[in-house]
Amino acid sequence: MDFINIQKDGNLAIIRLERGKVHALNDQVVKELHDTFKDMEHDDSVRAIILTGTGKFFSFGFDIPGFMNHSPEAFTGFVTRFTDLCTYMFLYPKPIIAAINGHVIAGGCILTTAADYRIMVTGKSKISLNEITFGSSIFASSVDMLKFCVGHRNAELILTTGNMYSAEDAHRMGLVDRVTSDENLMEESKKVALNYATKEPPAFTSLKMLSRKPVAEIMIAREREAIREFVKIWYSPATRAYLKKVTIHS
Amino acid sequence: MDFINIQKDGNLAIIRLERGKVHALNDQVVKELHDTFKDMEHDDSVRAIILTGTGKFFSFGFDIPGFMNHSPEAFTGFVTRFTDLCTYMFLYPKPIIAAINGHVIAGGCILTTAADYRIMVTGKSKISLNEITFGSSIFASSVDMLKFCVGHRNAELILTTGNMYSAEDAHRMGLVDRVTSDENLMEESKKVALNYATKEPPAFTSLKMLSRKPVAEIMIAREREAIREFVKIWYSPATRAYLKKVTIHS
Amino acid sequence: MDFINIQKDGNLAIIRLERGKVHALNDQVVKELHDTFKDMEHDDSVRAIILTGTGKFFSFGFDIPGFMNHSPEAFTGFVTRFTDLCTYMFLYPKPIIAAINGHVIAGGCILTTAADYRIMVTGKSKISLNEITFGSSIFASSVDMLKFCVGHRNAELILTTGNMYSAEDAHRMGLVDRVTSDENLMEESKKVALNYATKEPPAFTSLKMLSRKPVAEIMIAREREAIREFVKIWYSPATRAYLKKVTIHS
């Protein structure tokens, strides 16, 4: 694995995003995450997984500069694999805890909404689904996972304003389940993960599926059409102009 | 337009209900609203719309005295056009901000739940879906748009109690997104509208549809049957007795 | 009726669970509840129903020791009749108020989520869907009724942690609608019930069905498969070990 770091701690596994400073998501990061989750799904020694970042970022989202020269077909391939990863995580049979150590933006934020629990550090870190601010739409699964966390109304406000939220604001809306200090993040995340790890796996998985499957069915049914529209907007001249600005500044 | 007043302010449009003192909704008001929204949908100079009332009322709801002599068939025609307007507004491609300047009751309240954002004045003004207090049911779209704003549970409480809420109570439940003073209503509404107006239209519309279409599909599928039941209850002797009392007092 | 007590008070009916100290649910309790609700459905003198317990318990849930010698087939029969009762109560045409006088756990808690309104006493009483703590899953209808009360996110947290909540915590999450003291429980419950009783029955029933039917359709469609999985987990060696411990301690 080039861009993620894996640690075992008792019956917990910690997956840490480590790609440059902002852990931008590209095809390889998505593949490494997918392969790692797949391995752990069948590893009985892993009872719960903590997903986290490093430094000041959990993840800044898609590697926009890296995608600028992709054809629409190649980019469609990437976003399909990304949404497949999200849906797979959303229905993952074991508990996933997102330990949000820093800024978590766009695609990074989407990943966390697939988890079972989100803990975020207070301070300067921001959480946002800011796609609209650079003229972009989002995926069906992203909308439905967000609604699962915060309800219809807050989901629409988050998406159509593109606001940047503090951990406290996010907690009030239900976008994160708990806030804590930077120093306590891993300790508290492990405590939450260990609590999940004590539960009988068949009961946990059954309850999670009863809770999530009807939501997943709706998002899967409309994802392909949503991706088509997402890509169309992404390659429109107005949105390309925004993306080029993002590329120059990064 | 006899019963609505239209103003342009930069890339914003302001639609103001102006029918008597309470802006009771009848077939012509519904037609004027529908035609106006239709015109603005294709007018590129309009990027966001503010819908408001005048005086002490946003709208008191249906013009009950005016409907007392309608046949069930004629009344079915009206409510079908009203629910069509609501569904059209709920899926409107541009942002609609409801600037709630005063009392907003029953059909008036339903209109606001179709908007993207609701700001309401504090003070004596009340918001209510009080149909049950005069023995009436409501429409499938009304229930589903209300659930979209406040969730299943609050929606059912609002509908089955028929309570009158202050702006502050409504804000706590999610029925309005912001409260403000009478003097600041239009300024704040314009600020919200202008923020929406800066967003790229294709991204905004795409996100709004991703958020609302699955809800709209459910409400559209069951609306015709709901209207049939609504009209049946409306013409029942018990409900007619309530409606006559309302008519005498208005 | 051996295990429930029925009182009439004006146009209200009060159904009181009275089976031993903890009012554990078995086939006969479920049958008595079902028959009583059925009778009252067609009794015009009953306009609202209060469901409550006695002593320190509303209900501790299923009579686990009593089910230990049941075959999977017999137990499947019981849980099918239990979920049928819940669905019937969820769609009951008249208002049901749960007056939660004490601890309300697992199957007991499920019953209350089918009601129209929940009032719970403050103090030492706990409310919990703690199935996961003894290795058990739950029913599709239980998940969907819980989501109806508290939303997707809180529902999943309640189910996958199995936490015991105070009345105040439950109120904050929306799991109960009001909290009160032990002394005031019946008076306040009657006030709520009488308020519902003033509403025109056809309007009330129509609004309740508009609010609940789309939810009920989803839960009914997936209940049979959920029950199959529930029973399979219940008879797994790991879960049987937990259930035996519960049996010995009770």
pLDDT digits (tens, 9 = 90+) for B128-160: 999 999 999 999 999 999 999 999 999 999 999
d(CA C176, CA B77): 41
What pLDDT score does A115 carry? 98
Check if the beta carbon of residue C127 is closer than 8 Å to that of residue C109.
yes
Check if the beta carbon of residue A59 is closer than 8 Å to that of residue A22.
yes
Burial of C183 (0-12, 13-18, 19+ CB in 10 A): exposed
Q: Is A134 helix (H, G, I), strand (E, B) or coil?
A: helix
d(CA B177, CA C5): 46
Closest approach of A242 to chain C, Cα-based (Å)? 34
Closest approach of B166 to chain A, Cα-based (Å)? 20
Check if the beta carbon of residue A247 is closer than 8 Å to that of residue A239.
no
Tell me which of B250 and A201 has the higher pLDDT: A201
Tokens 């260990």 correspond to: A194
- Band (pLDDT 50/70/90 cuts) for residue A180 is very high
Strand B12-17 relative to strand B4-9, pairing: antiparallel
Q: What is the pTM of this model?
A: 0.97
Q: Check CB contact under 8 Å for A143 and B212.
A: no
Burial string for B64-82 (b: 16+ CB within 10 Å, else e) reads beebeeeeeeebbebbeeb
- Mean of the per-residue pLDDT values of chain B: 97
- Band (pLDDT 50/70/90 cuts) for residue C247 is confident
pLDDT tens-place string over residues A72-128: 999 999 999 999 999 999 999 999 999 999 999 999 999 999 999 999 999 999 999
Check if the beta carbon of residue B115 is closer than 8 Å to that of residue B96.
yes
Taken in order of first residue, the domains within chain A and their CATH numbers are: 4-182 (3.90.226.10)
Residue contacts between A and B (CB atoms, under 8 Å): 72
Check if the beta carbon of residue A12 is closer than 8 Å to that of residue A50.
yes
Q: Check CB contact under 8 Å for C206 and B239.
A: no
Across the interface, which of B95, B177, B203 has its CB nearest the CB of A136?
A: B203
- Band (pLDDT 50/70/90 cuts) for residue C248 is confident
Q: Check CB contact under 8 Å for C199 and B132.
A: yes
| ipTM for this model | 0.96
d(CA B159, CA B147): 10
Q: Check CB contact under 8 Å for A195 and C151.
A: no
What are the beta bridge partners of residue B178? B119
Check if the beta carbon of residue B167 is closer than 8 Å to that of residue B148.
no
Q: Please report, for residues B133, C16, C26, C103, the alpha-carbon distance to residue C6 in angstroms, rounded to integers and kept in the order given.
A: 30, 6, 18, 21
Check if the beta carbon of residue A34 is closer than 8 Å to that of residue A86.
no
Across the interface, which of B137, B153, B229 has its CB nearest the CB of C174?
A: B153
